Chains A and B, each alone.
Chain A
């Protein structure tokens, strides 16, 4: 959190605080009659809200009513505050706590990490940015509906194909609905398409080349593995967006935690509950 000290926003806040306090001191003695100010922004906001709810802008008459309602509710609000009606109200307390938390989150988001900070975060959490192991392979399918001796057909196809490389294949087996060439697929994707047992078998010590015959719920498949990608760390540039989201999520939580810790110190808790 020490980097906050280097942030311009920080000094802006300090100055703001000062002005705020000053303003409170100076304006302590105001005249009795209070102002309710309706600004152009207030008016525009009322129009926008109404339009969003009803799909069309309010008529002049409706707008007058909306403004009058706004004025009334400001008056009620101020009067209620004078009577301390906001004290000990659970809903108001909860709402304010929530707003406070929102502001804290926004405040945390104001601080954007530098690339160096992101890279450091990436290095500390590198296990979050692993790519799963993936295979590229060809499968030549044997549909049991089409052959009396399925195993025989499979081993004959394997014998014939295994003397060839995929480019020279002349018998592609039966046409299924799964493309013969599968490129860069992980265990999850393979499982989704060929079933879990098949996927597990495929990842048993895979070696580039002819693997043999693997069964699935669809029948038998003669398998050639073209390429194996081991599980590895994805480079920072590739996952930068993910790192950013993770950094923000972590930072928000950390910031809130630190904030509440420090605010707590300003209170002396007196337990009178026996």
Chain B
């Protein structure tokens, strides 16, 4: 029959076809070409819409997710992002009732997909001795194998069987293909991506006393042209080497950025005053860093990286979802606060700018999840944990510690954050541009929309007139921008709207940081808009908004707080000769923390070490003032 003839002729075709290297990888052809036209998509808004996404999701193609019994793929992850139902290893079917607008699957580059390949009988990897351990029914054996992987990462010694270029390249091409296939301009934007998992070992002495610091970055591609193979931490654990590699990729026409996360777990390395290899920071380093890292992820399951009560002692809201640990097999040592938080880094950035002429930390902020179930657990009342079987049920999360379990820390993790961007439309080019110009904000999960502008002649802005946004864009600069020299205080336009399905808002604050003529940096927090007609005291303080949470019932009411908050503000201490930055923090009224919903489900009282309520929040990217 005819097909069998074709079969025999494939050999011939192979001879005739051009060499395989020159053949482009299969990609979603027609749909992608269709997008490249200039036409706008439905929902286009020249004044930009707030879109909410998650740029940090892992599937079973990440070695750690696999080890903890996650078996869903990047395909499933995008399906979850769009609102479809997928499987969790112990929580049953999970679904995000509120689809995301944009997303990246960021599987670890190191050993990407190899664990899944070991399950595939067809794969050569399935025959490795190591694969048998991974597949072992005996949990102790598979955990031991996971330990090997973890140690190999901590020591940065790749297991060579598992890092063959062929293996990596196949998986990577599939990742790209899946991301491309799920990208639907106007509806759902995806960016091909991966995580560079640098976890340098800290401490000295026996293995049991070693721990690892978090220097991880997600590498996000705009999507038209993508690296042949990811640069992994096996290539180098030094972020400077990552940026140098990125520069080479950019020279080939590849558009990509790196987004660091969990500085809170970096033990002081993320915003250290030295480079990774111990040199003092210089202008070239600062430039390379800010060129490649315009955005930092500052809130996710493993806590927030904005503030720490030791570093920000005068901030009554600094102590929020702290997760200040390093990585270790046993009980991890605390992560050093100095050098680990964004607010401190922002201050240092002003000093670097003065000293070097370049600010390495002139970056914007987003939140994301870091969910390892091919899904981010954003909703407090539908929390399903971070990592497969470790924290997939209320029992293991809240009660395992009491039974002597190893993962007591699960309960200190936070429900996931989200990335907010202001973009004209929901497309790759529009959202990627927002990230590059830092017109972004971070939320601890709720879809709070935050607008922030600085400029002149905005004092009479009328928020009841729909055209106020036109005026703000025309006379001011939005979050993420730099405002050049002014004679007197510019007008600050602040506006926030609650999550339509969430809690009301308590207040908007402006956090101001500046550097004086002696090179000293300072920080001051101003309440600029607040709910319920509360009266500001003579020190600028506002009384607490109240608390409607019924703890045993894990519920709250929106009888306090406001739906939108807005103000035009001027800085009473403005000094036109001082470099400064301003960012917004928006607080919700108190709501039950995810652990409170869990306690209700279990019918137990909340453990003493946990807060029953939380004040979820959003942070804007700063606006920098540069005289």
Q: Does A116 contact B (CB under 8 A)?
A: no
CA distance A46 to B122 in the complex (A): 33
Asked if residues A1 and B500 are in contact (CB atoms below 8 Å), the reply is: no
Which residues of A lie under 8 Å from residue B122 when comparing CB positions?
94
Q: Does B39 contact A (CB under 8 A)?
A: no
Asked if residues A217 and B564 are in contact (CB atoms below 8 Å), the reply is: no
CA distance A196 to B170 in the complex (A): 40
Asked if residues B563 and A241 are in contact (CB atoms below 8 Å), the reply is: no
Asked if residues A259 and B124 are in contact (CB atoms below 8 Å), the reply is: no
Q: Does A4 contact B (CB under 8 A)?
A: yes
Complex interface residues of chain A between 245 and 274 (CB less than 8 A to chain B): 245, 248, 258-259, 261-263, 265-266
Min CB distance B75 to A, Å, is 14
Give residues in B with beta carbon < 8 Å to A. Answer: 1-17, 19-23, 26, 28-31, 34, 42-43, 83, 97-99, 101, 122-124, 127, 164, 166, 170, 228, 248, 251-252, 449, 463-466, 495, 497-502, 531, 562-564
Asked if residues B9 and A17 are in contact (CB atoms below 8 Å), the reply is: yes
Residue in A193, A216, A263 whose Cβ sees the most chain B Cβ within 10 Å: A263
Asked if residues B3 and A16 are in contact (CB atoms below 8 Å), the reply is: no
Asked if residues A145 and B500 are in contact (CB atoms below 8 Å), the reply is: no
Asked if residues B166 and A45 are in contact (CB atoms below 8 Å), the reply is: no
Asked if residues A13 and B500 are in contact (CB atoms below 8 Å), the reply is: no
Asked if residues A16 and B9 are in contact (CB atoms below 8 Å), the reply is: yes
Asked if residues B9 and A100 are in contact (CB atoms below 8 Å), the reply is: no
Min CB distance A28 to B, Å, is 17
Give residues in A with beta carbon < 8 Å to B. Answer: 1, 4-5, 10, 13-14, 16-17, 20, 45, 49, 52, 54-55, 90-91, 94-95, 98-100, 102-107, 143-145, 174-177, 179, 184, 188-189, 191-196, 198, 216-219, 241-242, 244-245, 248, 258-259, 261-263, 265-266
Asked if residues B12 and A13 are in contact (CB atoms below 8 Å), the reply is: yes
Task: Please pick, from A20, A45, A94, A145, the residue contacting B564 in the complex, using a CB distance under 8 A.
Answer: A145
Contact A1:B13 (CB < 8 A) given known A52-B252, A94-B124: no
CA distance A242 to B101 in the complex (A): 21
Q: A217-B563, A242-B31 are in contact. List 5 more A-B contacts (CB 8 A).
A: A4-B3, A10-B2, A55-B251, A188-B83, A259-B7
CA distance A95 to B26 in the complex (A): 16
Asked if residues B498 and A217 are in contact (CB atoms below 8 Å), the reply is: yes
Asked if residues A20 and B2 are in contact (CB atoms below 8 Å), the reply is: no
Which residues of B lie under 8 Å from residue A189 when comparing CB positions?
42-43
In the complex, the chain B residue whose C-beta lies closest to that of A99 is: B20
CA distance A91 to B169 in the complex (A): 14
CA distance A258 to B228 in the complex (A): 32
CA distance A17 to B9 in the complex (A): 6
Asked if residues A5 and B2 are in contact (CB atoms below 8 Å), the reply is: yes
CA distance A107 to B564 in the complex (A): 58
CA distance A242 to B164 in the complex (A): 37
Asked if residues A45 and B5 are in contact (CB atoms below 8 Å), the reply is: no
25 A-B pairs, CB-CB below 8 angstroms?
A4-B3, A13-B5, A13-B6, A16-B16, A17-B5, A17-B12, A20-B11, A49-B21, A55-B248, A55-B251, A90-B124, A94-B124, A102-B20, A143-B563, A177-B497, A177-B564, A188-B83, A189-B43, A198-B500, A217-B563, A241-B30, A241-B34, A259-B7, A262-B1, A262-B7
Min CB distance A108 to B, Å, is 10
